[in-house]
Amino acid sequence: MKALLESLNPDDRDWDLATAIDPDRLPAHIAIIMDGNGRWARRRALPRVAGHRAGVGPVRSTVETCARLGIECLTLYAFSVENWKRPKAEVEALWRLLRYYLRKELPELQRNGVRLQAIGRVEELPERVREELEEVIAETASNRGLRVYLAINYGGRSEIADAVNALIAEARSEDRLSSLRIDEDAISRRLYAPDCCDPDLLIRTSGEMRISNFLLWQIAYSEFYVTDTLWPDFTRGDLLRAIVAYQRRDRRYGGLGLEADGESAAPVSVVAADEDLIAASGMSLR
Ligand code: FPP
């Protein structure tokens, strides 16, 4: 959080939003469905690939802002197991973009102490993409800052199926298949990123109210935030707005939450101060 404020000055248009964020209640894990690249391109009469290309900038700025805020994990949905259904030329352009991003961004990831990882059936990726991905994963492995998980060739259902199959294979190899009993904890520990906590905040751009097979197991109690902004237009301000909105939610996890004790999710004075700040700057929480 301190690093973000140090990178801004009070004249910056995101200053009020940044100072409205409570540093003690940051989401530990933010997950994002980066949607709307195709529509962004269509509105400009450009090929879909131009939309994906324009989506690289917001990836860069979101990673940087999360690193400066001190967020622990950021998961970005880059390519789903269903995305292979798209035209071959679009799929190949996405691989080229990913390789470009990995090559170009490595020094910046290192500067920000970011550790890059991947979730999904990475073994099915084209060889050169897999090799370059593994190289960046290895090069950033000792960084201790933000962990960025790129969901590539990822599907929530395949992840759960892979976890269950791993449990069966382990039990078979240890000759205890007949007594195997699977509980929630056993599945959680075999997911692609078992060390990462469940997302606190799930953001989807472009206004669609769908989960699209993303982190199905992990989002049981995530707070969902949808913005109409298309991914190529997603700015640091949009990310900060999502975090401010998240901090106003009363997370109940099936219980009664803070309201039951006569408390609001945030102290009333803090909420009022945030609203004043945002109103004064002419911004809205959308
Ligand atoms: C969804 O928009 C977006 C994708 C399938 C790809 C996401 C890729 C990027 C943001 C490019 C850069 C990524 C990295 C990690 C460097 P869509 O094509 O479904 O948009 P539409 O719904 O408007 O058609």
Which tens digit of pLDDT belongs to each residue from 104-140? 999 999 999 999 999 999 999 999 999 999 999 999 9
In the prediction, which pLDDT does 251 show?
Answer: 87
pLDDT at 267 exceeding the cut of 60: no
Cβ(98) – ligand 1 distance below 6 Å: yes
pLDDT at 252: 85
Q: How far apart are CA 73 and CA 145, in angstroms?
A: 9
The answer to whether 36 and 232 have CB atoms below 8 angstroms apart is yes
> pTM score, two decimals?
0.90
Enter the tokens of residue 123.
């073994």
Once rounded to an integer, what is the mean pLDDT over residues 50-66?
98
Helices 88-111, 127-139: inter-axial angle, 10-degree rounding: 10
Q: In what order do the strands lie in the sheet with 223-226?
A: 115-119, 147-154, 73-80, 29-33, 201-204, 223-226
Distance of CA 79 from the midpoint of ligand 1 (Å): 8
Residue 38 Cβ < 6 Å to ligand 1: yes
The residue written with tokens 């390789």 in the block is 99
User: Using CA atoms in the order 210, 214, 216, 219, what is the torsion angle rounded to 10 degrees?
Assistant: -80
Strand partners, 175: none
Lowest-confidence range among 37-46, 117-126, 274-283? 274-283
56-80 mean pLDDT: 98
Asked if residue 264 has pLDDT above 50, the reply is yes
pLDDT at 280: 57
CB of 8 within 6 A of ligand 1: the answer is no
- What's residue 270's pLDDT? 47
Tell me the mean pLDDT in the region 193-217: 97
Q: What is the DSSP string of the chain?
A: -HHHHHH--TTSTTHHHHHHS-GGG--SEEEEE---HHHHHHHTT--HHHHHHHTHHHHHHHHHHHHHHT-SEEEEEEEEGGGGGS-HHHHHHHHHHHHHHHHHHHHHHHHTT-EEEEES-GGGS-HHHHHHHHHHHHHTTT--SPEEEEEEEE-HHHHHHHHHHHHHHHHHHTT-GGG----HHHHHHTSS-TTSPPPSEEEE-TT----TTSSTTTTTTPEEEE-SS-GGG--HHHHHHHHHHHHT----TTS-TGGGGT--SS-HHHHHHHHHHHHHTT----
Per-residue pLDDT, averaged over 187-212, amounts to 97
The verdict on whether 198 is a catalytic residue reads: no
pLDDT at 80: 98
83 has a pLDDT exceeding 50: yes
Answer whether residue 214 shows pLDDT above 90: yes
Specify the CATH architecture of the domain 2-249+263-280.
3-Layer(aba) Sandwich (3.40)
pLDDT recorded at residue 261 = 66
pLDDT of residue 263: 58
Please choose, from the candidates 238, 213, 215, the residue with its C-alpha nearest in 3D space to the C-alpha of residue 225: 238
* CA separation for the pair 30, 175 (Å, rounded): 39
- Known catalytic membership, residue 83: yes
Residue 282, pLDDT score: 59
pLDDT confidence of 281, banded at 50, 70, 90?
Answer: low
Token pair 């292979």 is at which residue? 84
List the single range of 19-33, 181-195, 250-264 with lowest mean pLDDT: 250-264
Give me the pLDDT at residue 48, please: 97
Q: For ligand 1, pick from 32, 33, 34, 117 the residue to mutate: most ligand atoms within 8 Å of CB.
A: 34
Average pLDDT, integer, range 62-82? 98
* Average pLDDT for 251-269: 69
Residues 86-90: what's their mean pLDDT?
Answer: 97
**Which of the four pLDDT bands, split at 50, 70 and 90, describes residue 266?**
low
Domain boundaries, the chain: 2-249+263-280
Average pLDDT, the chain: 93
What proportion of the chain, given as a percentage, has pLDDT over 90? 87
Residue that has been written with the tokens 């324009």 in this structure? 54
| Cα–ligand 1 centroid distance for 8 (angstroms) | 29
Which of 83, 143, 162, 250 is the catalytic position? 83
- Annotated catalytic residue: which of 14, 35, 200, 274? 35
Determine how many CB atoms are found less than 10 A away from the CB of residue 3. Answer: 14
